[in-house]
Amino acid sequence: MRADPGDQRRLLELQAEDTAAAQLERRVANLPINQRIVALSGDLTLVNDRLVDRRTRLSDAEAARQKAEADVAPVRQRLERDQRRADGGEVDARALSSLLDEIEHLKVRVDNLEDAELEAMEALEQAEAELAQAEAAAVSAEAELSRARAERGVMVDQARAEMAELRRRRQAVAEGLPADLLELYEKLRSRYNGVGAAELKGRRCAGCGLEATTADYDSYQAAAPDEVLRCAECQRILVRS
Ligand SMILES: [Zn+2]
């Protein structure tokens, strides 16, 4: 294939734009913020699971408190009623003695049930505090995740703008290049890891990094300037400077 040496050199500019675009794509795919978003999403799931657990605990604690309250009420009423009867003086001595025994027994029972009620109230307060803590953690985990997403959004927008600029410049470089040269370049670029054209620097191909053998180098030197050379090692278009 033959092509104007100037067009051949423009392939290197085209290659530079394509390489920059590929690097930009890799950079966006490997943004550290992506990892961070994955980690923060995991954190948020854990925090939300804990929140559900704390809500369940609170509702259990509330049920336990209601039960403790319900347990003590009838015993207290009975104690009050017995006390009124004993104070009323309308029972005979034998009945009074057994009534006073029952009153003593009921007092102990009420004390125990009130202790249980107090414990249930303390447990409820504890559960409320733990729920408040879990809610605060969820709010902060959500905020952190949305901050990270917003940060990533800004980076992606910047990358998109950069990419648009690269595409615009690439198009300007590609315009006017002969179709067959461009086609060969694209074919080689897709086949050889994104690099279709490379400069011959001294005796070394910048595409594969290998130094030409003396025979190959001599043939490069002997070729007409408009002959499109290919690296004997990597097959890429070899552009003389
Ligand atoms: Zn090469």
DSSP annotation of 223? S
The whole-angstrom separation of Cα 73 and Cα 68 is 9
Report CA(156)–ligand 1 centroid distance (Å): 34
Report CA(189)–ligand 1 centroid distance (Å): 12
pLDDT at residue number 100: 95
Q: Which residues of 26-40 are buried (b: 16+ CB within 10 A; e: fewer)?
A: eebeebebeebbeeb
3-class secondary-structure state, position 204: strand
* Residue pointed to by tokens 């999403």: 41
Report CA(28)–ligand 1 centroid distance (Å): 29
Residue-wise pLDDT tens digits, 207-234: 999 999 999 999 999 999 999 999 999 9
Mean pLDDT of 156-160: 96
Report CA(200)–ligand 1 centroid distance (Å): 8
* Mean model confidence pLDDT for the chain: 96
- Pair (38, 143) in one structural domain: yes
pLDDT at residue number 241: 86
Mean pLDDT of 69-94: 94
pLDDT at residue number 139: 98
- Pair (105, 129) in one structural domain: yes
Report CA(234)–ligand 1 centroid distance (Å): 4
Residue 29 has pLDDT above 90, yes or no: yes
Q: Number of folded domains in the chain?
A: 2
Report CA(221)–ligand 1 centroid distance (Å): 16
Report CA(143)–ligand 1 centroid distance (Å): 51
- Pair (101, 137) in one structural domain: yes
- Pair (142, 234) in one structural domain: no
- Pair (66, 154) in one structural domain: yes
Report CA(199)–ligand 1 centroid distance (Å): 9
Print the domain residue range for 48. 31-173
* Percent of the chain surpassing pLDDT 90: 97
Q: Considering only 86-90, 181-185, 199-203, 236-240, which range has the smallest mean pLDDT?
A: 86-90
The whole-angstrom separation of Cα 171 and Cα 173 is 5
pLDDT at residue number 89: 83
Mean pLDDT of 106-112: 97
Report CA(83)–ligand 1 centroid distance (Å): 107
We report the CATH number of the domain holding residue 61 as 1.10.287.1700
For the record, the structure tokens of 28 come out as 């966006």
- Pair (122, 213) in one structural domain: no
